[in-house]
């Protein structure tokens, strides 16, 4: 019951939050953009969408907990009945008018990701999953079950590598070298949750990011797991409030990709 009701709320809120975000996107030229740090942007769009999501959840489930990108400093630390939200993932793309961004909402029970939704309003696609219930893509054509690709080798694969532009990290140069040498194509589209959703939908064969926040990762990781893919343990030892590595992929390349990432980044 509790998960059923939260799943229904998740889908409705993800859709409405996407509509709100898309309205801001259309009016992005008028947005005041603030810097939270180098290459770390925020606007009223991020804040208002997160406030909307938080308000809808609090109305329906007042006892639930909340961890959002724009209010993370107020997180209680309670990981039961917890909603983890990135109101606009791919903020830099969003502000530049690049149509690769999303609203990402996850729900966690006893620390276990249980529900997830990644809404891509620019393409009209809502990806969602319930632990044990499979991964789905909803669009104008209805709902379709999604699965990761059947790729079985890095050679010929397409692996996305996300990285924060906030701080230089030479490990990514080694990681990209290793992927090139393995014969993998690599991409970075600038929004972690949507790239994870595209791994779940078989459009990408894998996704790697060496330090990612839980609001970027949790919904997308559940999508990959429920679509038959594999994901390295997340969060890390520091828990949901600390950035940690993400490696997620089609099952057929999971072992090879994990080994490549470990070897390429061993130098620190
Ligand atoms: C972004 C992620 C991206 C990461 C960026 C940033 P935001 O999320 O989607 O993968 O590399 O540093 O965290 O900040 O746009 O919500």
Average pLDDT rounded to a whole number, residues 31-45? 85
Per residue in 175-192, pLDDT tens?
A: 999 999 999 999 999 999
User: Are the beta carbons of 153 and 253 closer than 8 angstroms?
Assistant: yes
Q: Is the CB of 90 under 6 A from ligand 1?
A: yes
Q: Is the CB of 220 under 6 A from ligand 1?
A: no
Q: Is the CB of 50 under 6 A from ligand 1?
A: no
Half-sphere exposure (CA, 13 Å, Cβ side) for 63?
Answer: 4
- CB neighbourhood size of 16 (10 A): 16
- State the virtual CA torsion across 244, 249, 251, 253 in degrees, nearest 10: -100
Can you read off the two tokens belonging to residue 108?
């966690």
Instruction: Give the residue carrying structure tokens 């393995």.
Output: 182
Using the mean position of ligand 1's atoms as its centre, give its distance from the Cα of residue 171 in Å.
17
Q: Is the pLDDT of residue 268 over 80?
A: no
Per residue in 206-262, pLDDT tens?
A: 999 999 999 999 999 999 999 999 999 999 999 999 999 999 999 999 999 999 999
- Give the strand pairing for 185-187 and 158-162: parallel
**CA-angle at 103, arms to 98 and 106, nearest 5°:** 145
> Considering only CA atoms, which residue is closest to atom 13 of ligand 1?
164
Q: Is the pLDDT of residue 1 over 70?
A: no
CA dist 187 and 152 (Å) reads: 19
What is the percentage of the chain residues whose pLDDT exceeds 90?
90
Region of poorest pLDDT, from 64-68, 75-79, 211-215: 75-79
Per residue in 115-154, pLDDT tens?
A: 999 999 999 999 999 999 999 999 989 999 999 999 999 9
Backbone phi, psi, residue 124, to 5°: 65, 35
CA dist 110 and 58 (Å) reads: 19
Using CB atoms within 10 A of its CB, is residue 154 exposed (0-12), middle (13-18) or buried (19+)?
Answer: buried
Using the mean position of ligand 1's atoms as its centre, give its distance from the Cα of residue 135 in Å.
23
User: Are the beta carbons of 178 and 184 closer than 8 angstroms?
Assistant: no
Using the mean position of ligand 1's atoms as its centre, give its distance from the Cα of residue 46 in Å.
13
């Amino acid at each position: 019951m509790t998960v059923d009701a939260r799943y229904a709320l998740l889908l409705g809120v993800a859709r409405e939050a996407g509509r709100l975000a898309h309205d801001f996107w259309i009016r992005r030229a008028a947005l005041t953009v603030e810097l939270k740090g180098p290459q770390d942007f925020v606007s009223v769009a991020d804040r208002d969408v997160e406030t909307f999501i938080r308000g809808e959840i609090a109305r329906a489930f007042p006892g639930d907990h909340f961890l959002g990108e724009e209010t993370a400093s107020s997180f209680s630390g309670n990981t039961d009945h917890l909603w983890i939200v990135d109101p606009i993932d791919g903020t830099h793309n969003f502000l530049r008018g690049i149509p690769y961004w999303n609203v990402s909402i996850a729900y966690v029970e006893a620390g276990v990701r249980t529900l997830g939704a990644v809404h891509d309003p620019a393409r009209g696609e809502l990806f969602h999953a319930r632990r044990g219930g499979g991964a789905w893509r909803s669009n104008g054509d209805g709902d379709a079950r999604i699965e990761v690709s059947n790729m079985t080798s890095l050679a010929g694969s397409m692996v996305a590598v996300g990285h924060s532009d906030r701080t230089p990290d030479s490990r990514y140069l080694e990681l990209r070298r290793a992927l090139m040498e393995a014969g993998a194509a690599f991409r970075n589209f600038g929004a972690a949750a949507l790239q994870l959703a595209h791994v779940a939908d078989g459009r990408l064969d894998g996704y790697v990011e060496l330090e990612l926040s839980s609001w970027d990762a949790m919904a997308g990781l559940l999508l990959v797991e429920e679509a038959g893919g594999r994901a390295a343990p997340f969060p890390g030892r520091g828990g949901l409030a600390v950035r940690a590595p993400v490696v997620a992929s089609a099952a057929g390349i999971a072992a090879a990709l994990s080994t490549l990432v470990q070897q390429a980044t061993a130098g620190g």
